[in-house]
Chain A
Amino acid sequence: MSAMLDVQNLVKLFPLAGTRKVVQAVNGVSFTINRGETLSLVGESGSGKTTVGRCILGLIDATSGDIIFDGQPMGRGRDIRSKALRGRVQLVFQEPAESLDPRIRIGATLAEPLRFLGVNRADRDKRVREVAEHLGLPARVLDQYPAELSAGLQQRAGIGRAVITRPELVILDEPTSALDPTARAEIVDLLIRLQAEFGTAYLLITHDLSTVRFVSHRVAVLYLGSIVEEAPAEALFARPLHPYSVGLLSSVLLPDPALTRTSAVRLEGEIPSPIDLPPGCALAGRCPFADARCRAERPVPVAVAPQHFVSCFHHDKVAALDDTTDNFARFQEDSARLLSVGAG
């Protein structure tokens, strides 16, 4: 079976105003998403995550590369807004406010995508009630305006608007970063539940690595517009093999003082801006393993295990490092012990 979404060699350059330089926001990104699957795209601010999402949706034109959705190329008039695709691919924003019109009641906002599809009034109302129930939105919320709701309820409504057409693919761009941890956990549960029920595929764009560990099937790590590592979630978190992935994962803080940050790899300095990128590996300037070859030649992805790809000349040296324990899995076990006693 071929993938539902197939992105090959995606490049997006932005001209830099007032100069002849360009911002190399996305530099040849390739990945696939299968039906019902979650692929997470992680990476620091400015790594190009949102740009990838916007190219897929056709909200901006890619500079080059191919984006195939359900066997047909996207772009040139076939985008999220075009008739042929309407309702099949949807988007959820970071700020719930961006998906909700402040002057429109939640019920009407939820119904809007159905109206575009030409669904009649009675069926719309029925679907809205069904979806509200699925989302755990109390009935009264349908008559309220966004400003009257908490951030968590607003984001629920934003997700409801995206899933009401039963899309095959939803692009979630930082859906939980504006939320409290408690509200965040509820939204994550909701997304998992909706996927199990409708078989929706997600492209999850996020900074929140501890969520990624438990909701994704596969994870792609983006650095300066390139995917440096891609692997099944468990494999990546148990044994990251790209120096950047190791640095990134060891920075995540978990709520347990015993789970200290293991930083076998120390990355120097900060992410440079993606202008005039050097020819070699994007990480070469910060990487403790970098040598002359890294600075001259761009590493290509190598398969180190089934579905596990690393773009690094020295991934064997990373593999030879003292074992990096999967703190995320350990935290799951430890917290289970704390949580399993005392509930009412």
Chain B
Amino acid sequence: MSGSDGAMLDVSNLWVGFPSYGEQTHHALKGVDLRIAPGEMIGLVGESGSGKTTLARAIMGLVPPPGVVEKGRVLFAGRDLTALGDEARRAVLGRELAMVIPNPRAELNPVLPVGRQISNVAFYHLGVSRKEADRIALDMLRAVRIPDPERRFAAYPHELSGGMAQRVVIAIALVCWPRLVISDDATSGLDVTVQSQVLDLLQTMVREKQAATLFITRDIAITAHFCARIAIIYAGEIVEVADTRSFFTRPHHPYSIMLLAAFSHNPALRARWTRTEAAGGVATGGCAFAPRCVRRQPRCTQEAPVLRQMAAGHDVRCHFPVDAAA
């Protein structure tokens, strides 16, 4: 049931705009292409406002008003999600597509025991008996390694630590064997120790259930260890997409390198990749990154670069990418 060449999710040329009175429409996504295979976890990295959440919402057909999908297609297991009606989409969303977001406490119902919350999802979406749903829920609590799961089944969210609550949210997301998982900044509030545990778990479960996963984060370090592929988004455009190894061996796009530079504690090197005077203002017509780019040349402000291949499976949107020899 997946796409013709095995992609579970196939986003092509997706445009999303937010119209505003008296001003030009703000295009939050400008022709995004993205494919994810079953069992694959792809990391989507970009700074605040780059369009990550908008992409997640557009995939689910839930762009908030006044935003509109202006162009493009989202194929999920061969079906066009943007063309589905509300009801059909809800049925798909609950069962086959799961979203994990931060702040697990806000996600969970404060007056319902956590085991029951997992069980309810199984009961409504899997069509099993109450008893069977409870059994599945208990298995899930075990799978996400909640200590003492029998007792924790009856616990209320406020009785759990943040890390445990986040694991319950993952259990809820994965209990119906979704085929697509979207995690939007879901681990950023956790301690490093808990974060590693939660990510290990997400990775294992995603592999086991062969779910395609879009892992959204502002922290490029996470993707190095948990994602098979990585896509860098800047101002609504994917500027670099590659296998994780290939990316970290030689990032080509100046923005990708700037992101990596933020983790270096060598201020001199970092300064070389940061354009302090954002001269040139907002890019029109040319490369969106040009105002901040240290490699900018006249061509960059005149002509928009397209995504092109640098190596097998490694695409870059830049007129003057840093190449392997450099």
Contacts and interface: CB of A to CB of B under 8 A. Distances in A.
Real complex partners, A and B? Answer: yes
B248 interface: yes
Given A180-B47, A247-B193, A251-B193, A342 B322 contact: yes
A260 B244 CA distance: 14
A257 B273 contact: no
B295 A331 contact: no
Interface string B136-173: 00000000000100000000000001111000000000
Given A253-B221, A255-B221, A344-B295, A182 B262 contact: yes
B104 to A, nearest CB: 14
A255 B260 contact: yes
Given A270-B164, A339-B273, A341-B322, A252 B192 contact: yes
Interface in A36-68: 44-45
B2 interface: no
A149 to B, nearest CB: 13
B56 interface: no
A260 B192 contact: no
A45 B225 CA distance: 23
29 contacts: A45-B191, A180-B218, A181-B219, A181-B259, A181-B262, A185-B261, A189-B267, A189-B270, A213-B265, A248-B193, A253-B196, A254-B221, A257-B225, A257-B244, A271-B161, A331-B263, A331-B264, A332-B266, A335-B261, A335-B263, A335-B264, A335-B266, A339-B264, A339-B269, A339-B273, A340-B269, A342-B254, A343-B295, A344-B296
Given A151-B48, A251-B192, A251-B196, A338 B225 contact: no
A152 to B, nearest CB: 9
B224 interface: yes
B101 interface: no
A341 B163 contact: no
Given A253-B224, A339-B257, 12 more contacts: A44-B191, A151-B48, A182-B47, A251-B192, A254-B221, A255-B220, A332-B265, A335-B266, A338-B260, A339-B270, A339-B273, A341-B326
Interface residues of B, number: 48
Interface string B245-283: 100101100100111111111110110110000000000
Identify the 7 closest CB pairs spanning chains A and B, nearest first: A342-B322, A214-B265, A343-B272, A344-B294, A181-B262, A255-B221, A251-B192
A276 interface: no
Contacts of A188: 265
B62 interface: no
Nearest to A185: B262
B265 A257 contact: no
Given A44-B193, A254-B263, A256-B248, A180 B161 contact: no
Nearest to A152: B48
Contact of A181 (B218, B248, B273, B293): B218
A210 interface: yes
B195 A343 contact: no
Interface of B: 47-48, 147, 161-164, 191-196, 218-225, 244-245, 248, 250-251, 254, 257-267, 269-270, 272-273, 293-296, 322, 326
Contacts of B244: 257
A1 interface: no
A186 to B, nearest CB: 8
A48 to B, nearest CB: 14
Interface in A246-276: 247-248, 251-258, 260-261, 267, 269-271
A341 B254 CA distance: 11
A209 interface: yes
A240 to B, nearest CB: 14
A182 B294 CA distance: 15
Contacts of B295: 342-344
Given A182-B258, A255-B248, A342-B295, A270 B194 contact: yes
B292 to A, nearest CB: 10
Interface in A271-287: 271
A336 interface: yes
A207 interface: yes
Interface string A222-246: 0000000000000000000000000
Nearest to B148: A269
